[in-house]
Every structure is written in C-alpha cells, then in structure tokens.
Amino acid sequence: MNKTRVDVEEEIDLSSKKDHHIKSEEFAVDESKIEELNGVFNEDDYVDVPPDGGYGWLCCACVTAMNFATWGVNCGFGIFLSFYLENDVFPGATPTDYALVGGILVFLTLALIPYTSVLLLKFGYKITASIGILIQLAGFLGASFSTTLVQFYITQGVLIGISYGIIFGANSIVLPSWFLKKRALANGISHFGVGFGGVVFTLIINKLIIETGDQKWALRIIAIISFVICTVTMFLVKIRIPQNSQFKDQQNLSIKKIFKNIFDLKVWKMFPLHLATLWSCIGATGYCILLYSLSNYATSMGFSRHQAMIITVLLNASQSIGRPLIGYLSEKFGRTNFTMFATFYTCVMSLVFWINVKSYAALIIFTLMIGLLVGISSVNVVPLVADVVGLNSFASGLGFANTINAIMSLVAEMIALNLRDYSIPNRNPYFHCQIFVGVLYFCGFIALIPYREWKVKRMLHQLKNSKKLTENERQSFNDLLESKGFIGFLQRAFHLTII
C-alpha cells in the first residue's frame, strides 16, 4: 500500500492553519484509504479505519434499545405537559414552570455529555452507564411521589436530565467508534428507538393517566421498563478504541489529562465546528418546540385531549421511520447535502404548511410529513461533528456542540409557550411560534452553506494529488481549490459532489 508519514499537528481546517492540532506524535496515513473514501473524512480517521459493521451492529441494536427506553420516554413528555397544564397538578405552577422542567431535562442531558466522556474514559462504559441507569430509576420513582413543584423540578427535571446525560453521553461515543462510511446510517438506525419509544410510551402514559386519574403510576411503570431494558443492553455494549487513540492506555490516564483532552480549546476554536454547532443548536431548538408543543397546539385548536394524544403518537411514529431514513439518505446523497435538504424542507413545512393548518385531517398530514425529517439535527450532529474533528477528538467536539445546544434547549419550550397569543384574529395562538420555528430552520440552512464550502475545500485538498485523477480533473480541482473571493466561495459551496 502507498503510505506516507503525516505529522498529526497538521491543521484540520484548511482555511486556517491556526485552528487545531490533534496530537504531537506521528502516525501513518494510508493514501489509498483517502482515495477509497473520496477524501470526505478527517485524516485522523484513515489510520485505523473502523470496520463499518461486525460487532458494531450489535452495539447499534443495544443503543437503539437504550434510546427507546430514554429519549423515547422523553418524546411522551408532551402528554405529561398537556395533563399538567389542564389539571393544575402542582398548585401555583404556571405553564412556564412546566415547560422549564422539560427544558432542564434536555439541558442537563446535553450539557453533561463532556463530563460523561470523562467518566467513560476513566472508569469504562459499564460503570458509567450503571450510574446513569440508577439515577434514572430514582428520578422516575421520585417523580411519582412528588407533591410540590420543587420536588417535581428535582425528580422529573434534574435527576432524569442527569441520567439521560450520562446514558446518552456514553452511547454517543459508541457508534462512531465502530462506523465511518456508515456512521450516519448506524446513528439513524439507533434513533429508530427514539421514535418507536415515543409511540409506545405516549400510548402507555396516556392510558395510565386516563385509568388512574393522575401521572403517578405512569411514571412508575416507565421507571421499571426503562431500568430493565437499559440494564440488559448495557452489558452487551463495547467501545472500539482505534490504534491511534489518545485514550488507548486507559489505566494510566489521569483525570486531569482526560479533562484537558475533552475540554480542548484548540478543538473548540475550529470554525467548521462552530458552523455545525450553530446548525445543530438551531435544529435542536426547533425540534424541542415542535415535539413539546404539538399536543397542546392541537387542544388550543379545539380538539380533544385524545385527538392531541393521537398527534403526538403520529409524530413519533413518523420519526421512527424518518430517523433511519435520514441515516440511509445521508450516506447515499452525502451527509452535508441531505442535511441541508432536510433543514430547508422543515423550514418550508413550518412556514407554508403548519401556518395554514385549519382541520384535524390537515394537522395529521402535517404531523406525518414533518416527523419524517424533523429529527435531522439529532441524527446528523454526530457525523457532521465527527467529519470535522475526527474520532480522536470526537468527544471534545461533540461536547462543545452539545454544551451550546443545551443552553437553547433549556428555554426552547418556554419561548414557544410565551409566544402563544390568543388575541390574534383569524389565527391560532401558536402563529408567532410557527413563524419562529420556520425562521430558525432557514437560519440553520444558511449556516450549512459555509460548512459545505469548507468540507468541499478539504476534499479537494486531499484528492488533488490522487493518481486516479486525469490531468484535466486535477487541473479542475486545483482551479476550484484556488479560486478566490466570494465567487470562489460559492463555487465550492455548491460544487456538485456527494459530500
């Protein structure tokens, strides 16, 4: 094989040599892998290429099951929210109070991911996941006995948020270690558990609330189901450590060294990472608003609580199909390409379709159509971040992205509820919220344009000396790579290629 020695302190962001240096030692990069993989990945990932399968598929199945028992449960929070709003479960609580609990849960889930990485790298997967599973059990059981707003905040907000942060944070490292070319596909498949869990738990929660008259037994049943599923699957999951990993010698890693590598400012300063983070932050905000608001939106239009529950079920059912589909189409047409399409699609659906929904039938159609691709930020943030920083710095890059996402997720549903206006003539109370969501996704689409330009530029740089290129192709690559100014930027940003 044709190999060359590459100093790993070579910059990742080709547009700025000051951005990032991965390690201080040298490693061998297989140039044939760069050509085989079309030059679309970080050079760090060409050293010890993941198998794209094997035991990774079992890990994918286990992560899917754990997503079912964690994020799938969270997809049913809209049913709890609707019940709390209608029945004044905690006296004196306002709609903002209830919305803030959902925001706290998502905030802690995302904000704790960097710290979970520290636990994971120091103590291993099983110990880390076990901590999260036990906290989750305590949170749900505690929430079922809560009688005050403070207890509600601590249990269903803080404890569940911490548990999800640990479980999800640990699992977010698993699949990228086993997959490269199929990374988006594997991540999409694992998110099937989110949508399917949303369907199952929404039905369970709604039925138990109707039969018992309150939320208590719904929370207890969820606690038992989640604990059993997460415990069984945890024992089957393994993380693959690449040969060039800076965390390979786990026993000799100090907490200080792990913190330094996870909170790596050189990684966090990378401009393409900022773009991917901006897009995912916008997408996460829009997603939270849609996920938590649709049930209450349906009742605000005059539909029954049962009809509102059906809308939540259909949204999650659509997501259970859409998220694996996102993974498949991202690999077929290019991760960045399809991410841009899905983001723009969601923008159009919000501004054109959602605003004009007048009937229950139209709301059902909108829910099914929006659910297919609304999870794009949850599915593709992992491959988009990994493509920038490489697997070696993935924990640091994803930690940065999710820390920023956490801030907006904290207030997303509060924004939605406070944007409601019942005084607008001939419009539903969520009109301003609908405009806000549509504009959010349009801004997300704009943020992906410079991201794609950077990625095309890196691809051209990696492939310009490929022996497979003809002289004309090589010259064309060089011309496009060296094209200056705004015109050159646009040519690269919209260059036709699978990327």
Amino acid identity of residue 408, one-letter, is M
Checking if the pLDDT of 40 tops 70, the result is no
Q: Looking at residues 180-184, what average pLDDT do you find?
A: 88
Q: Looking at residues 75-93, what average pLDDT do you find?
A: 80
Position 166 scores a pLDDT of 95
Phi-psi region of 338 (alpha: psi -120 to 50; beta: other; left: phi over 0): alpha
pLDDT in tens, 427-437: 788 899 999 99
- List beta partners, residue 28: 5
Checking if the pLDDT of 62 tops 90, the result is yes
Amino acid identity of residue 2, one-letter, is N
Position 14 scores a pLDDT of 40
Position 105 scores a pLDDT of 87
* Position with higher pLDDT, 447 vs 259: 447
Amino acid identity of residue 349, one-letter, is M
- Give the domain ranges of the chain: 55-240+262-456
Which segment of 24-33, 86-95, 131-140, 203-212 scores lowest on mean pLDDT? 24-33
* Neighbour tally for 461: CB within 10 Å: 14
Position 4 scores a pLDDT of 38
Confidence grade of residue 294 (pLDDT, cut at 50, 70, 90): confident
Q: Looking at residues 324-353, what average pLDDT do you find?
A: 95
Checking if the pLDDT of 291 tops 50, the result is yes
Checking if the pLDDT of 380 tops 80, the result is yes
3-state secondary structure the chain: CCEEEEECCCCCCCCCCCCCCCCCCEEEEEHHHHHHCCCCCCHHHHCCCCCCCCHHHHHHHHHHHHHHHCHHHHCCHHHHHHHHHHHCCCCCCCHHHHHHHHHHHHHHHHHCHHHHHHHHHHHCHHHHHHHHHHHHHHHHHHHHCCCCHHHHHHHHHHHHHHHHHHHHHHHHHHHHHHCCCCHHHHHHHHCHHHHHHHHHHHHHHHHHHHHHCCCHHHHHHHHHHHHHHHHHHHCCCCCCCCCCCCCCCHHHCCHHHHHHHHCCHHHHCCHHHHHHHHHHHHHHHHHHHHHHHHHHHHHHCCCCHHHHHHHHHHHHHHHHHHHHHHHHHHHHHCHHHHHHHHHHHHHHHHHHHHHHCCCHHHHHHHHHHHHHHCCHHHHHHHHHHHHHHCHHHHHHHHHHHHHHHHHHHHHHHHHHHHHCCCCCCCCCCCHHHHHHHHHHHHHHHHHHHHHHHHHHHHHHHHHCCCCCCCHHHHHHHHHHHHCCHHHHHHHHHCCCCCC
d(CA 250, CA 240): 13
- List beta partners, residue 30: 3
pLDDT in tens, 196-239: 998 899 889 989 998 998 889 999 999 999 999 999 999 999 98
* Position with higher pLDDT, 44 vs 20: 44
55-240+262-456 classified as CATH 3.30.420.10: no
d(CA 94, CA 97): 5
Checking if the pLDDT of 21 tops 50, the result is no
Q: Looking at residues 109-118, what average pLDDT do you find?
A: 89
Contact 381, 401 (CB under 8 A): yes
Position 9 scores a pLDDT of 32
Which segment of 94-103, 268-277, 358-367 scores lowest on mean pLDDT? 94-103
Position 6 scores a pLDDT of 35
CA 463 to centroid of chain Cα atoms:
30
Position 1 scores a pLDDT of 42
Checking if the pLDDT of 482 tops 70, the result is yes
* Neighbour tally for 124: CB within 10 Å: 13
Confidence grade of residue 3 (pLDDT, cut at 50, 70, 90): very low
- List beta partners, residue 6: 27
Average pLDDT value over all residues in the chain: 85
Q: Looking at residues 85-92, what average pLDDT do you find?
A: 81
